[in-house]
Structure 1
Amino acid sequence: MLLSIAMIVKNEEKNIERCLKALRQLDGKLSYEIVVVDTGSNDATVDIVKKYTDRVYEHKWNNDFADMRNKSIRYCRGKWILVLDADEVLENPDEVVKFFDKDGESSKCNCAVIQFKNVLSANEDNVLLGSLIRLFKNKDEFCYQGRVHEQPKIISPIGYTNIALRHYGYSRESYELMEYKYERNLKLLLKDLEEGKDPIYTYFQLAQTYAMANKHNEGLDAIKNAYRIAKTKDISRYLYILHFYARDMLGRGNFEKVIELSEEALKYTDEHLDFYYLALRSYKSLNKFEKEEEYIKRYLKLYKKIKDGYIVKDISVNCFSFANYDDVLVYGVMNAYNQKKYEKIVEAFNEITKEADKEKLIEVFFYALMKMNRFDDIKKHFKKKKITDSDITNILNVLNRVCVEEVDRKSSEIAENMMGIDKKIDLYIENRYLSNQVSNLDEVNFDGFTEWKAEIAKDAYCKNETFIERLKCICGSDLKAYVSSMTENFKCLENLCRYSKDNFLTTDLDELNILTNIEEVLLTSKSIEKDEYNELTQRALINKINYIKCIYNLAVINEKNAKSILCAHDYVVYDIFEAIKIYGDDKLKYIRKLKAALNISPEYSKMINFFLKKVDDTEISDDMRNEKQKLLNITEEYIGNNQIANAQEIINELMKIFKFDVDILSYNGVLNYIIQNYDESLINLGMADILLSGNFDTVYNIACVMEASGRKNNAVSYYEKAYNLCLDDNMKKGIIDVINALKEV
């Protein structure tokens, strides 16, 4: 028997089969046996093991790892022993076979180092590299020592191999296993410490155990104790102490201490990748870019050496930064950028292999090329790929920056160098840098907001108000982003306010959708004059309530569920509307409700305060309601006698008291219609309509105002609604005549 594979296990049903199945790759390549000592499993571990070997032995756990290892070794019959744990998987069986070749390493040594890849997460590439002596000649004097993290008794000479084990025990996904190991190891280590067993190594293992449980302060105390004792001896023998301590300091942002510890270690070794990585990360964080560059170079040189098969002789220090190679390449690009080494940026960028990393750094790459006038290289970059909106964003971001920075060259000259890559880029450059009239926007798909599209949209809308039609089919968040950008331009802001006014009370759902999104943004503008803003606030509320009524079933929305159903803006509007509905019955409740809304949504304070202004806490009495009806009758008489000014005076006084009364709003709408104040008329009639839906008089009056103001399509829609609500056949006939006449026009 050439090889015995020795294991001690307990409750490893989640891991053991993965481990044993991998060993099957040795079948037919060398003679081996599997020896398993079970220390008290109460799950399916033993049953699984017996599918792979009959050499299973049971021994009660005695809190001593070394003793259990030694028991498993005594059962081994092979000339060599490979020690495995259940959460480890043999990666390259051919390397084991190679070790035992006629002229292999086994003929030259008594024990051998194998490589470890400790998997740290669900991402199999996220590994901590290490080396351990796990292969031994089966000699009588060979044994293990130590209760926790047991160590083999080394019998020289030592061989070095590329045999690799993938270890899953550190994976954070194995939470229950981690918890069990922590409790078990902590107890045993504290006992070792109490007995004074190798305090440096015990404190180190204690620090690792605390770190595994995220008890970082306790871990720091332990590694400090290990470091303090090690400093009194030969620190070069304890590089693993410096390594752990430096990693802890990096996590805490103590970069000066990381550098001190890393450079102390590098006095004694040049084969540990992590010390270069720890130093470069720290110099990077301290903006010491020349020193960072030095350590990046040293890291990359050693990384390639290890990747090519170099075996690190010092097995005491694990290596976590081998998996950070791609990060270091990224750091190299940014280091060159920070030092304005443009050629170096391009060189370092081209070393990167991960497309995701290249995408993150593409603007830095373009920036370096533009600064060196290598515009053709950017064009070549896009000959091999289809250009996307994201690519255009990257190019134009860099172009705009370079144009701002350059003093000796005109922006137009720089920008012209970038023409010819894509028609959309050409269009942007012509618009912004060459002051050319942009007429053909068909090349631009405005889905997906970008700043460069926003600039084109802003310019187009300034010159042609019908451009807004291009934005009707895009999603609400993109639309609001475009509108927000447009409000920065006074001409665009003027056009948007006019659009809000001209399309108020539209019955077309698509139109209503774009309108409410536009008005939501306009309500946040600080550049709209007060009276116009007040009108906008009322229009926005009425339009939004009409939109909500179209989209939602208001019968199932109430104060309890509204916040979870509606978006923030819609919820505020709904809350205001609910307050408006109770104004006539309980003015104090109206005030309290709006003040509560103000506390919950202070970002909408301007809108909410509009509905709070000029409201006193005087309750409306029954006598006041009776008097209101008398005054409305008088108003009716005044209107019939064409005494419009007198009627308006009464309504204005009633509005101060009753504010949101449907009848008063309707009269106010009619009076403003008579005096051809159509905007004010529609606001009053629109408010009356949302408070009392399905009222024929209100809907008919809106239709009349729409017709008078030249909004014929909207007039037809409201006449059709009025027709459906009308109960008078003669009146219905008259409505049909009006509709037909409008359609003919």
Structure 2
Amino acid sequence: MTKKLSICMIVKDEEKNLRRCLESLKLLISKDFSELIIVDTGSTDKTMEIAKEYTENVYFHEWNGNFSDMRNISISYATGEWIFIIDADEELNTPNELIDLLESSKINNFKTIRIREKNLLSVKLNKYVYHVQERLFKNDGTFQYKGTIHNQPIYQHPVLTVDNIWLMHYGYINEDKELMEKKFQRTANMLKTELKNDPEHVYYRFQLARSYMMHGDSATAIEEIKKAYKSMKKQDNRLITYRYYVFGEYARMALHTKKFEQVIDVCKEGLSYNDNYLDLYYYMGHAYIELEEYKEGLDTLTKYVELHGQYYKNKLDLSNFTAIEMYTLDKVTLEKTLDRIISLVYKEINIIYDLNQYKPLLNEVENIALKAKLLTKVFILEKSENELLNLYKNIDESQRYPFINYLEMLKKDFDEGQSEHFKHIFSSIEDDYGLLNEIRNTEKRNKLLLQFINNYDIVRFTDEVIIEFVTYLMESKYLNKFFKKLDSVTIKKIVKVLIDKEEKEEYFLGSLRNDYKFNDFQSNRIYIAIANVLLLTTIEDSKKSKRELDKDVHDLYELYVNRGINYIRYLYHVDHLRLIYITLGNNEDRFFILMYLANEANDKGNIRTSIRYYKEALEVYPFMAEFLNNKINQINVGLSKDIIITDINQISSELANKELRVLHGSIEIANQMNSLTKGLQNIGINARSLNYYPSYLNYSNNYRVNISKIKNADEISNLTTEIGLKAIEKFDIFHFHFGTTLISDHSDLRILKDSGKRVYMQHWGSDVMQNSIAEKISKYVVVKNTDEDSIKRKLDFLSKYIKHCIVGVGLYEYVKDFYENVHISRAAIDIDSYAPSISTTKKSKPLIVHAPTSPEHKGTKYILKAIENLKIKYDFDFILVQNMSHEEAKNIYRKADLIVDQILIGAYGLFAVEAMALGKPVITWISEFMKDKYPKELPIISANPENIEKKIEAVLKDKDMREELGFEGRNYVEEYHDMNKIAEVLQNIYINNQ
């Protein structure tokens, strides 16, 4: 033998990993006593080229499906005294330590060397799994590998386990979905083949269970680990000592699947064979706590923490743990356990537990925010306000406000004496928090309030603190002085908090009447900020309670607009308003300018120009839709008849020579009439849409008449009759939506039938959904209309005159017993107006969006509860999209990283389609009844009230999954929801079903 060390590797298609591995060996390779041997088993990438840069000893042997054979071939080339085995997806972190060992005399007393390895499971979570492996072997001619997969070395004793030589393994990173899927398919198939020949092979069964677990199939994983456990128990009791890795995996999988009693039983049995197996203490401790056996849980987790410390101080002998991957040795897991221990003691007042043993460990916690939180709880439990003060003084500036807000939350648990002492000692600090506590600590606070107003910003504190501080200002009559120091956005936030949590509407209404009488810039600015919040809050409340806005609210709106117009006159040159308003980023300013221009045009008699400006204001600031639509309709009602009739007359010649003349009417549902008519036009069919119920969403239609604003029933009947009769003359095909027709009393249906016109009715959801059927489709569904008899009567009536019904697949069950012919068609979308916006840049935190157009029926309360719980553990943004135009809402959807739709209905709707078209991952409830009715490639994540939190969490943690679902969603919509393709479906229905 001419070399001290032979480094032996087998590789295949490893160009992504190999260079990193070989660079980590460079120091070893440079030593003249080392040789590098690489056996390639069939690479098709640049693996061989990279290998030859580092060694001449590169050989090719065709892969035969047996890892041990390939290992043994690589060993056959070794000439060194010692053999070192390493894989391409590993790197040696400690080359100097390995050299020192090889050059030492103590190595001569051993034939096998065990070293330590860290397996990186998650880059995002900084999650590692640890284990010990035999990697250096005396090259005495007896050493070899056996086993087709998960090959195991047949080595000689004595064995030395070293603590200071480490490998890093990158082969099982959870975020690399492609890699994980590839390894699962390869490994699982090979293991299944081996197990057919030897079903009782404990190690192979154990590895198969781990493969399923890493693949996310926990149900199959736990069944396989049970089989491994049973096979192990059939063996001689002495052999179990060498198989107790099964206990660790069994306990881990049982904990993951919430089988807590099973966890405890398995852990106790495993610890009877080796009481140093710290993973088992970890699993058992958490299982006890889940079962609310807190004393046992705390004692067990304390033992885990103790063993964890011994491991890192090299006082824990784990040298026999060669087949075990230690899942709980990383610092993140330790810190989470400390968090649970201390939070449990803090929360459960009946638990008396000495936390002094944890203080030294808390000082070593690497997560700064967590460390501060845990020490805070300990000091509060100990009533050590002085230590709490020192902790505050030493907190990192970037963590100061999160810490203050956390402290304010915990302060609610103080008794009166503790609270007074806290205020006293914290008032000694010379910063905003110190001054706040000084204000709290005295009755004579006017001077201190002025000092705070002039120097600090209260908005960085919690809502509760803001309320407390503003209450002091109200008492001292300093609130207006305070508002002058703040920007308008901050004023709005404070007013909103006080209205929502303290019901201060009357206070602020009185303030508007009494405190801002002057028409100066500051008075107007503050007035419109307060009025804006009052108006939006009132509008939101009225929608929830389904009540009309009273005269006082309309009066406030008029004052708000007038003050707003005065405000923009201070800011901008009025002669330039037409030129500059479109460039402004502040939509409220743009709204006021448009209102100024609309009023000006109206005063000059330019009615159409005035309407155009009002409509543009509606687009820019849809929050005021209630008032703007009312204003537009006041102007427009008198013109409505002429506009629609004139328009129909204008297109009569245009339609005269077309084979298909189609009118869609007379309500816009989620932009479907607009999309369908555009799609039909794109394939050469002359189609138009008529909408009697335009809304704040501001969808585009060819003809719009807002009959909901006409209070007189006779006037509505006369208007719709005139429009309907004119339309019947000009169109051949009538495609109605949501149970509406041309004339308000549906008398047009008999005329259409007698005229031989082709009529189709398309239903969209609540117009046909009956609870008795809905609950069979989804056990969670809440129907909007609970009066089934009225729905059935309506369907009976419509189906007498209309023979053809069109529905999405999810509504078939509701209409099949009424209409003679039921046709299936999907929702349509203009994919060109939904350019995918999949983010490729790194955002500081993800954005989750939910649009509760109907909160009760979408399950919004469950979604909000899940978001609230997840906010405790994760840093992300959440937007509830309400009271916006369709375009404004789409702008928010484009920024989203995850969109959550409904979780009750059991079928996906238009919002989910829009989200997928934008390349966004979607969570919505797809019931078992509906799953087989959709294309198999539907990329929606199904969630219901029982699992919505877990489903959001899984997507939140996995950026790669979000991107994959986004791409798949866009492809799905292009295939199944393109309005042009849906138009072709409709064309076929129109032509073949007359």
TM-score by length of 2: 0.54
Displacement of 1:15: 0.4
Deviates more, 1:300-309 or 1:480-489: 480-489
What are the Cα deviations for residues 113-166 of structure 1, in whole angstroms up to 9, with x where unaligned? 121111112259421001121211112222111111111112222221232110
Displacement of 1:368: 4.9
Aligned to 2:318: 312
Displacement of 1:288: 2.3
Rounded to whole Å, the distance in 1 between the matches of 2:116 and 2:222 is 28
2:463 matches 1:458: no
- Find 1:393's aligned residue among 405, 414, 428: 405
Rounded to whole Å, the distance in 2 between the matches of 1:345 and 1:562 is 63
Q: Which amino acid aligns with 2:346?
A: Y
Aligned to 1:516: 532
2:328 matches 1:321: yes
Do the aligned residues in 2 keep the contact of 1:117 with 1:165 (CA within 8 Å)?
A: yes
SS at match of 2:324: coil
Deviates more, 1:200-209 or 1:536-545: 536-545
Deviates more, 1:579-588 or 1:210-219: 579-588
Distance 1:111 1:502, change over 3 A: same
Do the aligned residues in 2 keep the contact of 1:342 with 1:371 (CA within 8 Å)?
A: no
Do the aligned residues in 2 keep the contact of 1:226 with 1:241 (CA within 8 Å)?
A: yes
Do the aligned residues in 2 keep the contact of 1:8 with 1:37 (CA within 8 Å)?
A: yes
Aligned to 2:369: 359
Aligned to 1:551: 590
Aligned to 2:489: 476
Superposition map of 1:363-512 within 5 A:
365-366=375-376, 368-370=378-380, 372-385=382-395, 388-402=400-414, 405-406=415-416, 409=417, 415-416=423-424, 418-422=426-430, 424-425=432-433, 428=436, 434-439=442-447, 440-443=449-452, 444-448=456-460, 450=462, 451-461=464-474, 463-464=476-477, 467=480, 470=483, 473-474=486-487, 476=489, 479-486=492-499, 489=502, 493-499=506-512, 510-511=525-526, 512=528
Uncovered stretches (5+) of structure 1, i.e. residues with no partner? 601-610, 623-745
Q: Which amino acid aligns with 2:23?
A: K
What are the Cα deviations for residues 61-103 of structure 1, in whole angstroms up to 9, with x where unaligned? 1111111111111111111111111101011112322332343
Deviates more, 1:166-175 or 1:612-621: 612-621
SS at match of 2:36: strand
Distance 1:514 1:182, change over 3 A: same
Distance 1:143 1:149, change over 3 A: same
Aligned to 2:290: 285
Aligned to 1:276: 281
Aligned to 1:643: none
Deviates more, 1:257-266 or 1:541-550: 541-550
Rounded to whole Å, the distance in 2 between the matches of 1:114 and 1:322 is 16
Aligned to 1:532: 552
Do the aligned residues in 1 keep the contact of 2:111 with 2:157 (CA within 8 Å)?
A: yes
Do the aligned residues in 2 keep the contact of 1:420 with 1:426 (CA within 8 Å)?
A: yes
SS at match of 1:128: strand
Rounded to whole Å, the distance in 1 between the matches of 2:617 and 2:18 is 51
Q: Which amino acid aligns with 1:438?
A: N
Displacement of 1:394: 3.7
Do the aligned residues in 1 keep the contact of 2:14 with 2:47 (CA within 8 Å)?
A: yes
SS at match of 2:178: helix
Aligned to 2:261: 256
Distance 1:563 1:45, change over 3 A: farther
Aligned to 1:705: none
Displacement of 1:497: 5.0
Do the aligned residues in 2 keep the contact of 1:523 with 1:536 (CA within 8 Å)?
A: no
Aligned to 1:723: none
Do the aligned residues in 2 keep the contact of 1:333 with 1:344 (CA within 8 Å)?
A: no
Displacement of 1:379: 2.7
Deviates more, 1:71-80 or 1:476-485: 476-485
Superposition map of 1:322-337 within 5 A:
322-323=329-330, 324-337=333-346
What are the Cα deviations for residues 644-695 of structure 1, in whole angstroms up to 9, with x where unaligned? xxxxxxxxxxxxxxxxxxxxxxxxxxxxxxxxxxxxxxxxxxxxxxxxxxxx
Rounded to whole Å, the distance in 2 between the matches of 1:337 and 1:241 is 35
Deviates more, 1:122-131 or 1:77-86: 122-131
Deviates more, 1:450-459 or 1:591-600: 591-600
Aligned to 1:208: 210
Question: What count of residue pairs does the alignment treat as equivalent?
Answer: 607
Distance 1:241 1:359, change over 3 A: same
Do the aligned residues in 1 keep the contact of 2:385 with 2:422 (CA within 8 Å)?
A: no
Distance 1:429 1:221, change over 3 A: same
Distance 1:573 1:177, change over 3 A: farther
Displacement of 1:507: 9.6
Q: Which amino acid aligns with 1:266?
A: L
SS at match of 1:519: helix
Deviates more, 1:528-537 or 1:452-461: 528-537
Deviates more, 1:579-588 or 1:290-299: 579-588
CA-based RMSD of the aligned residues comes to: 4.3
Distance 1:490 1:307, change over 3 A: closer
What are the Cα deviations for residues 412-470 of structure 1, in whole angstroms up to 9, with x where unaligned? 57744543235655665566675444343332413435221221113313542752752
Rounded to whole Å, the distance in 2 between the matches of 1:242 and 1:549 is 64
Displacement of 1:188: 1.6
Displacement of 1:4: 0.6
Displacement of 1:272: 1.9
Distance 1:488 1:137, change over 3 A: closer
Q: Which amino acid aligns with 1:535?
A: D
Identify, as 1 or 2, the structure richer in helix. 1
Deviates more, 1:114-123 or 1:83-92: 114-123
Aligned to 1:184: 186
What are the Cα deviations for residues 174-210 of structure 1, in whole angstroms up to 9, with x where unaligned? 4333333222222221211111265222211211222
Rounded to whole Å, the distance in 1 between the matches of 2:34 and 2:445 is 82
Rounded to whole Å, the distance in 1 between the matches of 2:629 and 2:461 is 30
SS at match of 1:322: coil
Do the aligned residues in 2 keep the contact of 1:333 with 1:349 (CA within 8 Å)?
A: no
Rounded to whole Å, the distance in 1 between the matches of 2:630 and 2:199 is 74
Deviates more, 1:208-217 or 1:300-309: 208-217
Uncovered stretches (5+) of structure 2, i.e. residues with no partner? 569-585, 595-608, 645-664, 669-690, 699-707, 720-994
Do the aligned residues in 1 keep the contact of 2:492 with 2:529 (CA within 8 Å)?
A: no
Distance 1:385 1:308, change over 3 A: closer
Deviates more, 1:354-363 or 1:154-163: 354-363
Deviates more, 1:428-437 or 1:216-225: 428-437
Distance 1:134 1:365, change over 3 A: closer
Q: Which amino acid aligns with 1:330?
A: D
Displacement of 1:298: 1.4
Rounded to whole Å, the distance in 2 between the matches of 1:590 and 1:254 is 56
Aligned to 2:911: none
Distance 1:417 1:90, change over 3 A: closer
Displacement of 1:571: 6.8
Rounded to whole Å, the distance in 1 between the matches of 2:711 and 2:618 is 32
Rounded to whole Å, the distance in 1 between the matches of 2:616 and 2:284 is 55
Deviates more, 1:484-493 or 1:66-75: 484-493
Displacement of 1:263: 1.5
Q: Which amino acid aligns with 2:69?
A: D
Distance 1:25 1:339, change over 3 A: farther
Q: Which amino acid aligns with 2:15?
A: E
Distance 1:433 1:68, change over 3 A: same
Rounded to whole Å, the distance in 2 between the matches of 1:562 and 1:285 is 57
Displacement of 1:10: 0.3
Distance 1:223 1:539, change over 3 A: farther
Do the aligned residues in 1 keep the contact of 2:372 with 2:391 (CA within 8 Å)?
A: no
Q: Which amino acid aligns with 1:288?
A: E
Aligned to 2:770: none
Distance 1:385 1:7, change over 3 A: closer
Distance 1:530 1:437, change over 3 A: farther
Rounded to whole Å, the distance in 2 between the matches of 1:161 and 1:586 is 89
What are the Cα deviations for residues 475-503 of structure 1, in whole angstroms up to 9, with x where unaligned? 63773344332565566633345417986
Rounded to whole Å, the distance in 2 between the matches of 1:31 and 1:3 is 6
Distance 1:503 1:146, change over 3 A: same
